[in-house]
Amino acid sequence: MKKSTFILLLTIIVSISLSANPKRFFQDKDLTLTGTYYYPEHWPESQWARDFKNIKDLGFEFVHFAEFAWAQIEPSEGEYDFSWLDKAVDMANKEGLKIIMCTSTATPPVWLIRKHPETTILREDGTKWDHGSRQHPSVSNPLFRSYALKTIEKLAQHYGSDKRIMGWQLDNEPRVSADYSEEAHKRFRVWVQNRYQDINQLNKAWGTAFWSQVYSSFDEINIPRVSQQFMNTHQILDFQRFITEEMASFLDEQARVIKKHANSTQWITSNYIPTYSDGHIKMSPELDFHCYTRYMVFGENFGIGRKGYRVGHVERIAKANDYFRPIDGTYGVMELQPGQVNWGQINPQPLPGAVRLWLWHVFAGGSKFTCTYRYRQPLYGTELYHYGIVGPDGVTP
């Protein structure tokens, strides 16, 4: 073999190895990177510099931006505003903080929903979700995907070459949702046709000879009504497979758009709730690695010892570590509880030292970084009573 050919092959092998190894994004010295969520759009610009300085002084090394900011990034259709976000990136960078940039697909702006109400989820009971929540858009709606990817493209074009951006988070706690809209029906029919090719094969797989359920065409197939008594369980299983792949493919589409513009040092991930039964967690190969979120104390009566409910169950972090680590060989924890939360019937304060215990536990499992949710407790919104590292004034611990 010629020396030039050997060098070329070696270069290709090394390149493939690096692109397939998410550990390349982290240095050996970066064993315990810590960061925090910060929402510049929630606070007066006059307070940003102070907050970033305090974040740095506390020892944090990165901040997390734009997760729910679609309305601020694209205030009207086709009109983009990155000026406020550029200022936040500049201020954070002046303090030596890196940034995780996010796609805000969990919270589309009201102009999109009012113009295209069909892009929200239709529940089995006929209830149509509306603007004002999160995770209400349908990832099975091609129009929603088109709008989302267009905005992500603009975001990636703007920040993909920015070395201050250490990585990207896609969506927020992506989850599998059942949508009964007509567009979802169409995509489900295409999905089952691709899976079985022939209607007779589908009839055989679903056992439709039972109770006269035989289909003669893929056009006759609907999304199964799960609440309908004795619905075909094989059909229900395939629908669960379908909606799992819908979310996974949506994340892959986002990642491919970002990769067209991202520099080689930026990684792409998402922050999953460790439900374990949701197969979409491992079904997006375009991600560089996976992250999870973990809240330990939220009113559930479990834990070890008399005050265990203020520490959380011992296995909640260990099990998540062991589940996520083998997926890519690298993982992170994107949300770690900083204090009291607000969604339980009873919301106890974590025991003194519990957050430090959780942090050590996360890193003991091999996490490359941990990000706490959030830096400042909000003044308004659904998470009003969700603690941060500091209170709503941005100063009081």
Task: Return the active site residues.
Answer: 173, 335
Amino acid making up residue 261: H
Q: What are phi and psi of 214, to 5 degrees?
A: -60, 135
Tokens 């009504």 correspond to what residue? Answer: 225
Cα dist from 366 to 28, 308, 318, 320, 378, whole Å: 12, 25, 10, 11, 31
Helix (H, G, I), strand (E, B) or coil at 233: helix
Angle between helix 142-159 and helix 233-259 axes, rounded to 10 deg: 30
Q: What are phi and psi of 348, to 5 degrees?
A: -70, 155
Spatial CB neighbours of 137, under 8 Å, sequence gap ≥ 6: 105, 106, 108, 113, 119, 120, 121, 144, 148
Alpha carbon 295 to its chain centroid, in Å, reads 15
Alpha carbon 247 to its chain centroid, in Å, reads 10
Cα dist from 116 to 50, 111, 130, 131, 182, whole Å: 40, 8, 11, 11, 14
Angle between helix 182-196 and helix 233-259 axes, rounded to 10 deg: 100
Cα dist from 220 to 164, 185, 193, 233, 294, whole Å: 52, 10, 12, 17, 42
The enclosing H or E element of 51 equals helix 48-57
CA distance 188 to 185: 5
